[in-house]
Structure 1
Amino acid sequence: MASPTTTPSSSLIFLVLLAHAAPLAVAMLDPVDFLSLQAIRKSLHDTPGSNFFASWDFTSDPCGFPGVLCDSSSSSRVVSLSLGDPRASAPGLTGRLDPALGNLSSLAELAVVPGRIFGRIPQSLYRLRNLRFLAVGHNFLSGEIPADLGLLRNLRTLDLSYNRLTGLVPRAVGSLPSLSNLVLCHNQLSGPVPPFLSRTLTRIDLTHNELSGPVPPTYLPLSLQYLSLSWNRLSGPVDRLLYRLGRLNYLDLSMNQFTGPIPGQVFGYPIKTLQLQRNAFSGLVRPARWVVIPTVDLSYNRLSGEIPPEFSTVRSLYLNSNRFTGQVPGSFVDRLLGSSIRVLYLQHNFLTGIEINPAAEIPATSSLCLQYNCMVPPVQSPCPSTAGTQKSRPTWQCREWRRRRG
């Protein structure tokens, strides 16, 4: 018998339908799709506790199977396929994705719920020229992302997150003209971030990979609203890149090796949490206006100069482990004692003072840490364990820092 991944002959179709003695409804399903669904079913199995395939009985109409949606034409085709129980925390499937998926030529949506699907992404998916949605996240897929996915010119969402994929992010994927959502986080992808050409791209999530190298300013489109590149090995300056992306409402560049200044404009973006920690950003920080972002984390960088008073409107501010100097602005004290600031971490800098009454009581809902600066903290408040036990920097470090600053 011919492989289910090839287009069956008319005689084979007749024999298959006759052998199954299927009702008329089954005969209306396109024969190629019928055989493809059979092959897909044979390559996948329910994990313990899952009953997704219990009603996949090919003596009945496959268009009524759970997860299968067909169009209403006289020769019905599968247009949407969702493999597995979509309910939260439901057990998933195990097995491999059969190449017969590529024979479902009218398929517009393909989703596989979280489970234990392993093996490679079938190369045959490039034939699904109508595909708009492809999501196979939270499984155990391995190997490289097929470059031929770049032939899916109608693809809008590509989610291959939480797998074991390796190799590059194909430049062909970056060139997809209709792409809106790209989610490849929590894999083992390496190499550079490719240029993205889609003018409708709003979300890029490449978190927790092994990507490296710079991200040139023109590589990301102005349409971006969500950008997460954290936990990689990306490097170089991003000030020109961030200056262009004025539509961002989520930004996480933490845990990389980015360098250079942070543009002041980024503090005015409509972001709820700004995560730039654990990089090598340097220079002065100059917000263009009062910062209304609820949480700002710039910790573990090489930022210097005085702390801008514009940060006193931030509810949770992490400036620890930098090179800030001078006095803490008085506006911080007022808002801290008034419970407007919930977290103010300033430890491990070169700060020289803060005007606060030693008898002042920090509100129970607020956290202040001043340890390991060029001063003795005037108030006692609990610090995270990472701050260490030393209250102040050694005097020689402060002298050396002032000398080097000239």
Structure 2
Amino acid sequence: MKSRGNPMAAASPPLLLLLVAIFSLSASMEASILHPLDFLSLQSIRKSLSDLPGSDFFSRWDFTSDPCSFPGVFCRDDRIVALALGDPRAGAMGLTGHLHPAIGRLSALSELSLVPGRVIGRIPDTLSFCSSLRFIALSGNFLSGPIPSSLSSLRLLRTIDLSFNLLSGDIPPSIFSIPALSNVVLCYNHLSGKIPSFPASSELLRLDLKHNNLSGELPVLPRSLRYFAASRNQISGPIDANLPALTNLDYLDLSMNRLTGPIPSGVFSLPLSSLLLQRNELAGPVAPAADVKIAEVDLSYNRLSGPVSPLLSGVERLYLNNNRFIGEVPARFAERLERAGMEVLYLQHNFLTGMEISPAATIPVTTSLCLQYNCMVPPVNTQCPLKAGPVKTRPAWQCPDWRA
């Protein structure tokens, strides 16, 4: 009897096996739509990386299925456009191994990220072949060696974050020639040399270089900057005269360097939320041109001198301790303190001779005030930080003009 319902039922066993194989191959090809070059590159990347104990990021990377369904792999048509390696959830364990040079064959890749883990080795030079890259974030690993200067060929790159690694050598000057670049985060590495100069056309918004071994003087910075941090380096010389021209700057941290000279008065007129210049060798008077409205100003541990400007009384958290300020603290500070207008006022370890505040004044519990180790008996008793020491007043021989 002939079968009429299913033509495969009438086929001989060898033909049946062939048809099954064809159908299986067709189904496999429909599932695996990824371009062959991307498929092979992804396999190489997988072989060079593995999960740290506690991570299961690669548990669903089964190359018998469609790689575009893998965690962290994002495709458009038949090409990989974004690769997020590792589980991005907070507290999740990361990956170990190294970044395979085959990553450079992902020609449509526009975003590359790597969660914090123990990935070692160098950043592959082949990344420069990914001409569509707009975003690179490889933070929090153990990547070492230099930053490849070839990355400057990525003309669409907007963000590069290589922070918290073991990178060394100079910052390639050509990096800052990338026309679309807006965010550069290189903090917590072992980078050395000078901060490169910037082209006049730079539209950089964020530059984070803190905790490196950078030296030399500050270059002329892009006027577009909104965030600049270069603390804990060995940057020397005066604060560049172009700082007051950074009229978009919201955050400035140059603390713990070797900066010298005065603080330009125009710096205090910038639209800053934080101005951090502590632990340098800055000297001279602090003379803002108008009322300062910055939330936090830290000028401690410098060589600043002269009277304390009343124009600083509008700062919410003000650190002037461990300098050479003289004279009386302006009455505006006492008024602000009693109205809870200031959160922190640290004036300890200067040569101040008095403060117009009643001994019966009530300092809000939310306010930290420290006046000890000056050329006066502190008019009010307040809790000072432990590092201020136990001595309330300077020895008289250090205060020749002080009258008790």
Give the letter for the 2:40 counterpart: L
The answer to whether residue 206 in structure 2 is matched with residue 203 in structure 1 is: yes
Q: Report the Cα offset of residue 400 of structure 1.
A: 8.9
The answer to whether residue 371 in structure 2 is matched with residue 366 in structure 1 is: no
Q: How does 1:115-134 map to 2 (within 5 A)?
A: 115-134=117-136
Q: Report the Cα offset of residue 28 of structure 1.
A: 3.2
Residue 13 of structure 2: aligned partner: none
Q: Report the Cα offset of residue 269 of structure 1.
A: 2.1
Q: Report the Cα offset of residue 124 of structure 1.
A: 1.1
Give the letter for the 2:319 counterpart: Y
Residue 297 of structure 1: aligned partner: 298
Residue 225 of structure 2: aligned partner: 224
Q: Return the alpha-carbon distance in structure 2 between the equivalents of residues 94 and 237 of structure 1.
A: 43
Q: Return the alpha-carbon distance in structure 1 between the equivalents of residues 68 and 240 of structure 2.
A: 52
Gapped regions of structure 2 (runs ≥ 5): 1-21
Q: Report the Cα offset of residue 133 of structure 1.
A: 0.6
Q: Is contact 1:175-1:195 (8 Å) kept? A: no
Q: Is contact 1:239-1:262 (8 Å) kept? A: no
SS at the partner of 1:63? helix
Q: Is contact 2:249-2:270 (8 Å) kept? A: yes
1:24-74 deviation line (CA, Å, top 9, x unaligned):
1355321111100000000011112211111111111111111111112xx
Q: Is contact 2:237-2:259 (8 Å) kept? A: yes
SS at the partner of 2:313? helix
Q: Report the Cα offset of residue 194 of structure 1.
A: 0.7
SS at the partner of 2:354? strand
Counterpart selection for 1:160 from 145, 158, 162: 162
Q: Return the alpha-carbon distance in structure 2 between the equivalents of residues 60 and 117 of structure 1.
A: 26
Q: Return the alpha-carbon distance in structure 1 between the equivalents of residues 188 and 126 of structure 2.
A: 24
Residue 15 of structure 2: aligned partner: none
SS at the partner of 2:93? coil
Give the letter for the 2:253 counterpart: D
Q: Is contact 1:239-1:261 (8 Å) kept? A: no
1:103-141 deviation line (CA, Å, top 9, x unaligned):
111111111111111111111111111111111001111
> Percent of aligned positions with the same letter in both sequences?
59
Q: Which moved more, 1:224-233 or 1:371-380?
A: 371-380
Q: Return the alpha-carbon distance in structure 1 between the equivalents of residues 192 and 290 of structure 2.
A: 38
Q: How does 1:1-20 map to 2 (within 5 A)?
A: none
SS at the partner of 2:236? strand
Q: Return the alpha-carbon distance in structure 1 between the equivalents of residues 110 and 367 of structure 2.
A: 50
Counterpart selection for 1:33 from 32, 35, 38: 38
Counterpart selection for 2:85 from 83, 86, 91: 83
Q: Report the Cα offset of residue 191 of structure 1.
A: 0.9
Q: Is contact 2:375-2:396 (8 Å) kept? A: yes
Give the letter for the 2:119 counterpart: I
Q: Is contact 1:345-1:370 (8 Å) kept? A: yes
Q: Is contact 2:104-2:126 (8 Å) kept? A: yes
Q: Report the Cα offset of residue 296 of structure 1.
A: 1.1
TM-score by length of 1: 0.90
Flag the structure with larger Rg.
Answer: 2
Q: Is contact 2:32-2:67 (8 Å) kept? A: no
Q: Is contact 1:129-1:154 (8 Å) kept? A: yes
Q: Return the alpha-carbon distance in structure 2 between the equivalents of residues 375 and 239 of structure 1.
A: 36
Q: Return the alpha-carbon distance in structure 2 between the equivalents of residues 157 and 98 of structure 1.
A: 21
Q: Is contact 1:156-1:178 (8 Å) kept? A: yes
Q: Return the alpha-carbon distance in structure 2 between the equivalents of residues 363 and 65 of structure 1.
A: 56
Q: Report the Cα offset of residue 239 of structure 1.
A: 4.1
Counterpart selection for 1:212 from 204, 211, 215: 215
The answer to whether residue 51 in structure 2 is matched with residue 46 in structure 1 is: yes
Gapped regions of structure 1 (runs ≥ 5): 1-17, 402-406
- The number of aligned residues is 378
TM-score by length of 2: 0.90
Q: Report the Cα offset of residue 256 of structure 1.
A: 0.7
Q: Report the Cα offset of residue 342 of structure 1.
A: 1.7
Q: Report the Cα offset of residue 288 of structure 1.
A: 2.1
SS at the partner of 2:178? coil
Q: Relative to 1, partners in 2 of residues 1:29 and 1:349: Cα closer, same or farther, differing over 3 Å?
A: same
Q: How does 1:3-402 map to 2 (within 5 A)?
A: 23-25=28-30, 27-72=32-77, 76-197=78-199, 199-216=202-219, 218=220, 220-399=221-400
Give the letter for the 2:113 counterpart: A
Q: Report the Cα offset of residue 203 of structure 1.
A: 0.2
Q: Is contact 2:146-2:167 (8 Å) kept? A: yes
SS at the partner of 1:364? coil
